[in-house]
A and B are shown apart, each in its own frame.
Chain A
Amino acid sequence: MKFDWPYFWESLLSPSPQFLNGLALTVIISVVAMALALLLGLVIALMGRSRFLPFQLFASLYIWVIRGTPLLVQLVIIYTGFAAANIFRFEDTDVLGSLIKGAVQAAIIGLMLNESAYISEIVRSGLESVDRGQNEAALSLGMTPMHSMRKIIVPQAIRIMVPPLGNSFNGLMKSTSILSIIGVSEMFQVGSTMSAATFKVFEIYIVVALYYLLLTTVWTFIQTAIENTLNVRAGLPRAEPVFKRLFGIRSRKQATPAPALALQPADAA
């Protein structure tokens, strides 16, 4: 086997404009899809907790269908299937002066729908992890349930939700690689095109892999910083250091710092 080192280094250290565009598209799609998925996930979670039965049923059905089918199939149905059946066609549209391709819109919608089902479960269990007495104390002080949710429940639940949400985002960034199937020119797609043109298949995919690794690593740093900020604000010990979570050395003690909040009365003893 011959590994073309000069080509490898050049692709890695001074990537082509197309490749950088692909990288940018990967990041943009991930961030936008995640932001929308957070909102939708919150709505689905609140529907699931609602006392209104149709909402509950809708939330359960939604989560069941989305989590029970592959993202790839969902994407193809949304983009290609809907168009073929003349239900809906994603057209290139002008948003704030830049042209957004139909495939990119479909990608964002697809990832948002898919991710929101998982996020709603994270949100639901986060909200449930806050001791019931917290809500009762807020209500007894004259707060409405909505007010208690905003001031008492959510601020505590967020600390518990951030680690799984962060991991979810990490997964989302990696799963953008399958968007090539509907023709989105994100990083993986650009890599494939380059490898087809140059036959430097191994070199190029190693570079692609390293860039994904860069993205997820940078995110791990950001996530750790967010967790630390929240922990410090809650007067709790810092989250585990970045290198530990990157290399998977998880200590048992630190793996579950979150429930400490819910066990507040026990601290007294």
Chain B
Amino acid sequence: MTTQHAASTSASTPPSDPHDNIVQAVDVCKSFGDKRILSDVNLTVARGEVVVMVGPSGAGKTTMLRTINRLESIDSGEIRVNGELIGQRVNKHGKVVERSARDLARQRADIGFVFQHFNLFPHMSVLENISLAAVEVRHQPKSKVNEYARELLARVGLSDKADARTRSLSGGQQQRVAIARALAMRPALMLFDEPTSALDPEMVGEVLTVMKDLAEAGMTMIVVSHEMGFTREVADRVVVMDAGTIIESGAPDQVFSNPRHDRTRQFLSKVL
């Protein structure tokens, strides 16, 4: 059906959005109870761009990232992915309403998400983890999916682990499987929420290498990370969040060496 075509051709077809922006968040607000988490966040990400989000703990980075694939709803503003409102639609009376679960699932299928704690499925083998959604959601033939899954495993350097149980893997290996699992859906956009912060230091590098390769291959990525070396090397743009707003945005060199905002300076002095 249409989703299958969208998946296989999304990299080559011109998007409906004239500015080629894959993500367009406008005035996004979000509260948990009476606590304001996001206030008027505006974020635009172009196709092929790698954006790294930094900022102190509690700034709202995770929440913002989760609104982009609607794991988190928003109170006001709008978020478009591939030109479509995510999780919402405009009905015939011009009112913004929730999309159906099925429709939202279709949208999410094109957005990869990599979690801080991997969230691999422990009741399945590594290969099953990677193949599951392509078979179940995209209804692609199992043999073809498995072939692609093995290809992805090779890409993340885990060819020998196809039949392993996820719990037998190290943290770094689990996170690489999680990346392969997201890639198996051939997403147009990948979101990473602190993908290396739950790892032992010696495993951080192997995950960052995989992400670097992915960025070089042209994947659009939004990455929440405090790995400054990675950011300098890979990011097209750094976005600094503080207290629920984006306080600064620019090329890594500019933001790191010449921050405009005091809060940015304070934050950078801690992580650099």
Whether the Cβ atoms of B166 and A264 lie closer than 8 Å is yes
Q: Within 8 Å of chain A (Cβ to Cβ): is B234?
A: no
Closest residue of A by beta carbon distance from B200:
A269
A156 to B121, CA, bound (A): 9
Interface string of A132-144 (1 = CB under 8 A from B): 0110111111111
Whether the Cβ atoms of B101 and A264 lie closer than 8 Å is no
* Interface residue SS majority, chain A: helix
Whether the Cβ atoms of A151 and B132 lie closer than 8 Å is yes
Q: How far is the CB of A138 from chain B (nearest CB, A)?
A: 8
Closest residue of B by beta carbon distance from A137:
B119
Among candidates A143, A261, A265, residue contacting B133 with C-beta atoms closer than 8 Å: A143
Q: How many A-B residue pairs have CB under 8 A?
A: 95
For B117, list chain A residues within 8 Å (CB): 133, 264-265
Whether the Cβ atoms of A140 and B108 lie closer than 8 Å is yes
For B105, list chain A residues within 8 Å (CB): 139, 142-144, 147
Q: How far is the CB of B221 from chain A (nearest CB, A)?
A: 15
Q: Within 8 Å of chain B (Cβ to Cβ): is A210?
A: no
Q: Within 8 Å of chain A (Cβ to Cβ): is B71?
A: yes
Closest residue of B by beta carbon distance from A135:
B119
Interface centre among A141, A267, A268 (most CB of B within 10 A): A141
Q: Known contacts being A143-B136, A267-B167, is A233 close to B123, with CB within 8 Å?
A: yes
Among candidates A131, A139, A265, A267, residue contacting B71 with C-beta atoms closer than 8 Å: A139
Restricting to A98-138, which residues have a CB under 8 Å from any CB of B? 131, 133-134, 136-138
For A156, list chain B residues within 8 Å (CB): 122-123
For A144, list chain B residues within 8 Å (CB): 101-102, 105
Whether the Cβ atoms of A265 and B118 lie closer than 8 Å is yes
Q: Within 8 Å of chain A (Cβ to Cβ): is B37?
A: no
Q: Within 8 Å of chain B (Cβ to Cβ): is A155?
A: yes
For B110, list chain A residues within 8 Å (CB): 142
Restricting to A238-269, which residues have a CB under 8 Å from any CB of B? 261, 264-265, 267-269
Closest residue of A by beta carbon distance from B113:
A140
Whether the Cβ atoms of A264 and B122 lie closer than 8 Å is yes
For B113, list chain A residues within 8 Å (CB): 136-137, 140
Q: Within 8 Å of chain B (Cβ to Cβ): is A145?
A: yes
Q: Within 8 Å of chain A (Cβ to Cβ): is B181?
A: yes
Whether the Cβ atoms of B106 and A142 lie closer than 8 Å is yes
Closest residue of A by beta carbon distance from B107:
A142
Whether the Cβ atoms of B167 and A134 lie closer than 8 Å is no
Q: How far is the CB of A161 from chain B (nearest CB, A)?
A: 14
Among candidates B101, B118, B133, B170, residue contacting A141 with C-beta atoms closer than 8 Å: B133
A235 to B169, CA, bound (A): 13
Restricting to B59-79, which residues have a CB under 8 Å from any CB of A? 69, 71
Among candidates B106, B112, B120, B182, residue contacting A264 with C-beta atoms closer than 8 Å: B120
A156 to B137, CA, bound (A): 20
Interface string of A82-105 (1 = CB under 8 A from B): 000000000000000000000000
Q: Within 8 Å of chain A (Cβ to Cβ): is B174?
A: yes
For B215, list chain A residues within 8 Å (CB): none
Q: Known contacts being A133-B115, A264-B122, A265-B198, is A142 close to B109, with CB within 8 Å?
A: yes
Among candidates A136, A142, A268, residue contacting B171 with C-beta atoms closer than 8 Å: A268
For A146, list chain B residues within 8 Å (CB): 101
For A131, list chain B residues within 8 Å (CB): 119
Whether the Cβ atoms of A268 and B122 lie closer than 8 Å is no
Closest residue of B by beta carbon distance from A141:
B133
For B182, list chain A residues within 8 Å (CB): 140-141
For B181, list chain A residues within 8 Å (CB): 141
Q: Known contacts being A133-B115, A144-B105, A152-B121, is A268 close to B170, with CB within 8 Å?
A: yes
Interface string of B207-228 (1 = CB under 8 A from A): 0000000000000000000000
Beyond A265-B117, A268-B170, 19 additional pairs, beta carbon < 8 A: A131-B119, A134-B121, A138-B121, A140-B108, A140-B113, A141-B133, A142-B106, A145-B101, A147-B136, A147-B137, A155-B123, A235-B165, A235-B167, A261-B123, A264-B118, A264-B166, A264-B167, A265-B119, A265-B198
Q: List 22 A-B contacts (CB under 8 A).
A: A134-B119, A136-B115, A136-B119, A137-B113, A140-B71, A142-B106, A142-B138, A144-B102, A146-B101, A147-B136, A147-B137, A151-B136, A234-B122, A235-B165, A264-B117, A264-B118, A264-B166, A265-B117, A267-B167, A268-B174, A268-B198, A269-B200
A residues whose Cβ falls under 8 Å from a Cβ of B: 131, 133-134, 136-147, 151-152, 155-156, 159, 233-235, 261, 264-265, 267-269
